[in-house]
Chain A
């Protein structure tokens, strides 16, 4: 509501960054259920976020099936405890995953609390984005398709 464009653009990253500051977590990612990363905060230099997002989405859909088998609709949280690094994954608005990577396991309570706390903020940001009118009709046009087909012919050329 009345947000200037740039401010809206960094909503997700800002929310994630605040959570990182409070929990001292290493990295946070927001991943769609299709396996695409839509926002990142913290240190991502050590991480292949594209592959990570595809895998996390796969994990979550597998977990959904496991949940069904025991009569649940979904487990809303996945927690992986490692030697030095741990991952907390929470479901947001049934279609996105909030991935938090952190190192100090004694902070798990804080991580869980913060993950839950920023949930409504993220949901609100998604709603704002969906209703904002930043959509352009440039993709899907005949010209767009022509460019795309040319790229495809070039990239998948037979050697």
Chain B
């Protein structure tokens, strides 16, 4: 459920980038942030370690615009991918209206992708959400690598049917806007008062 402030006529949705460590979540968010017009976006907050690994979260607010008198916002977050930050991931995921799962296309990362996705499922279920009906898109990032997982591998392994799938090279911005557009559209379509 998005956060609705009837007094100030504000509607805020939360979008979370989830996935294994180093899959490119922060790179996705940074690209979107710099691609947006300045008056639409707030400052980006990056909480990372000295090695630029996300420690707690990255965040920026985006103002979509005014609709029917309401000012509609999208608050964008990334979670830390490293396995031992599970508690932080849960906290950030709570209250999400839509999730982008950023998978690492590197062949050797198959097991990490699967493990991370299973944790996502477990967490969404524990929040009382039906993850099969939840706005969720799968991004195969790092398509520029030489040996990449063929599309369909993860869906088959995880038994995913009908989930929107996109290819990306986040470092070059390829597929990044398509991904955020796809998840945002799903969030709006599923939105009910």
Residues of A whose CB lies within 8 Å of any CB of B are 9, 32, 34-36, 38, 48, 50-51, 54-55, 58, 61-62, 65, 129, 134-141, 143-145, 147-149, 151-153, 155-159
Contact = CB atoms under 8 A, between A and B. Distances in A.
5 closest A-B pairs (Cβ-Cβ)? A156-B181, A140-B193, A61-B91, A138-B68, A148-B188
A145 B72 CA distance: 11
B3 A36 contact: yes
B64 A148 contact: yes
Q: Which of A50, A134, A143 has the most CB of B within 10 A?
A: A50
7 contacts: A48-B43, A55-B59, A58-B56, A134-B6, A134-B7, A156-B184, A159-B173
Contacts of B173: 159
A140 B192 contact: yes
A159 B35 contact: yes
B88 interface: yes
B180 interface: yes
Q: Is the interface of B mostly helix, strand, loop or mixed?
A: mixed
Interface stretch (B8-16, B106-114, B116-124, B140-148): B8-16
B8 A38 contact: yes
B42 A156 contact: no
Interface in B31-53: 32, 35-36, 40, 42-43, 45
A51 B67 contact: no
Nearest to B35: A159
A145 B45 CA distance: 29
Contacts of B184: 152, 156
Given A65-B91, A147-B68, A50 B188 contact: no
Interface residues of B, number: 48
B82 interface: no
B42 A51 contact: yes
Given A36-B12, A155-B40, A58 B75 contact: no
Interface centre among B6, B69, B173 (most CB of A within 10 A): B6
Contacts of B132: none
Contact of B185 (A138, A147, A152): A152
A34 B181 contact: no
B3 A34 contact: yes
Nearest to A48: B43
A34 B188 contact: no
A146 to B, nearest CB: 9
B177 A156 contact: yes
A139 B70 contact: yes
Nearest to B57: A58
A50 B42 contact: yes
Interface in B73-108: 75, 87-88, 91-92, 94-95
A56 to B, nearest CB: 12
Nearest to B14: A34
A11 B42 CA distance: 27
Contact of B12 (A9, A34, A157, A158): A34
Contacts of B68: 138-139, 141, 143-144, 147
